[in-house]
């Protein structure tokens, strides 16, 4: 998916309970996620958003699945940080307590920054954790 979708994919990184474990990116590889990302028709989704203000999830199930998987991954990571703090451990990153926005403009280039063999072996959850540690390092 090219830059056509930039306004459409802004992921709210919230503190809600994550979806089921198999939807958190714990098993999905970066390579698999990027393949699905590239298959999404960003132009069609952007046009629909521009015309209606939203998009019909039933017409774009792959896009919806991709967004939901990243949200679940983000929520699981947020829960990890909260658990580390609650246990008195140093957190993996120092996320702000407030909601943050994550867009495809910084997420997808980060995922693509890994070499192909790393993409094939790294989980989406691990790549997301790397991005958060880079974006919100602890002092």
> What one-character-per-residue DSSP string does 52-101 give?
HSS--TTT-HHHHHHHHHHHHHHHHHHHHHHHHHHTTPPPSS---SS-EE
Could you state, in order of their start, the residue ranges of all structural domains in the chain? Answer: 3-135
Gap between the Cα atoms of 61 and 2, Å rounded: 18
Model confidence, pTM = 0.79
pLDDT tens figures, 82-102: 999 999 999 999 988 888 778
pLDDT tens figures, 23-64: 556 689 999 999 999 999 888 898 999 999 988 888 889 999
């Amino acid at each position: 998916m090219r830059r056509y979708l930039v306004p459409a994919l802004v992921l709210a990184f919230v503190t809600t309970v994550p979806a089921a474990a198999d939807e958190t990116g714990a098993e999905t590889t970066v390579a698999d996620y990027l393949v699905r990302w590239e298959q999404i028709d960003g132009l069609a989704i952007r046009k629909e958003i521009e015309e209606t203000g939203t998009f019909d999830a039933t017409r774009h199930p792959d896009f919806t699945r991709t967004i939901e998987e990243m949200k679940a991954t983000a929520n699981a990571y947020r829960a990890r940080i909260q658990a580390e703090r609650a246990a008195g451990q140093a957190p993996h990153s120092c996320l702000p307590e407030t909601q943050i926005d994550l867009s495809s403009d910084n997420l997808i280039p980060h995922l693509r920054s890994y070499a192909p063999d790393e993409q094939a072996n790294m989980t989406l959850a691990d790549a997301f954790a790397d991005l958060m540690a880079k974006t919100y390092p602890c002092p």
